[in-house]
Amino acid sequence: MSEKPQRPRHKRLETLNLVSFTHKDQDGRVDLEIVGRTLDLSDGGILLEIPRPVPSDNKEVDVTLGIREHVIRIMGRIVHQRELENGHIGLGIAFTSLSEEDSAILSRFLSEDEV
């Protein structure tokens, strides 16, 4: 029986932003450094599209996200990983650490883009 994905608790904005993504294995060695893009974004998490799966079971990740003229760094935890129709991987990440300054940048971006 597969586990049902949790519903997002935060309003998500469909947006395309470039992302640099770093993942380490259980021993702390980098096993994936890749560039991807956001599919959606909220103040609590992000859905990324990356070209290949995360290779190990460690759930902690380091994400660098470009938002307009800003670059913010986010520490997060992988909550799901699935294959997309285009063969790429959809990676759901919940934020675990975000500086106050970066959180304010993200909040402004999300509120400015609300319809």
Quote the pLDDT of residue 4.
Answer: 44
d(CA 91, CA 79): 8
Q: Enumerate domains of the chain plus CATH numbers.
A: 13-112 (2.40.10.220)
Quote the pLDDT of residue 111.
Answer: 86
CA proximity to 98, closest of 59, 65, 68: 65
Quote the pLDDT of residue 11.
Answer: 63
Quote the pLDDT of residue 12.
Answer: 64
Walking along the chain (115 residues) 10 residues at a time, the average pLDDT comes out as: 45 75 91 92 92 89 92 94 94 95 92 62
pTM: 0.81
Q: Where does residue 88 rank: exposed (0-12), middle (13-18), buried (19+ CB within 10 A)?
A: middle
